[in-house]
Amino acid sequence: MFAVVVRESGDAARIDGSGDIVRDAVMPRVREAPGFVSAMFTSDGQGGTLNVIAFESEATARAALDAARRTPRPPFMTLDSVELVRVLATS
């Protein structure tokens, strides 16, 4: 299993207030990705996000990696990094 890790930053209040948008608009699209296993979207409360999206294989995660880089973000957010990591264990 592999995961795409996305870090973003921006306006803390707007990020923390966007939970409904993530749940209602972002998650349905993410779930449709080939090989999708699970996802967690988090906020540190200070304007930073850490999003981890797991996929069945390296190939499906790599496809999602490219999509994560190209996805438009709201004007109050900046993409800081996107990386591919191997999942060692889950529960």
The CATH code of the domain that includes 71 is 3.30.70.100
Q: What's the pTM?
A: 0.92
In whole angstroms, give the CA distance from residue 26 to residue 4. 15
Per the domain annotation, does 91 fall within a domain? no
What is the span of the domain harbouring residue 58?
A: 2-86
Sort strands 48-55 and 77-86 into parallel, antiparallel or unpaired: unpaired
Domain count, the chain: 1
Residue with tokens 């930053």: 9
What was the pLDDT predicted at 89?
A: 95
What was the pLDDT predicted at 26?
A: 93
Per the domain annotation, does 63 fall within a domain? yes
Residue ranges for the chain with pLDDT beneath 50: none
Count Cβ atoms within 10 A of the Cβ of residue 7 and give its class: 0-12 exposed, 13-18 middle, 19 or more buried. middle
Helices (H) and strands (E) in the chain, counts: 4, 4
Q: Which residues pair with 42 in a beta bridge?
A: 50
What was the pLDDT predicted at 60?
A: 97
What was the pLDDT predicted at 83?
A: 98
4-16 per-position pLDDT tens digit:
999 999 999 999 9
Output DSSP code: residue 34.
T
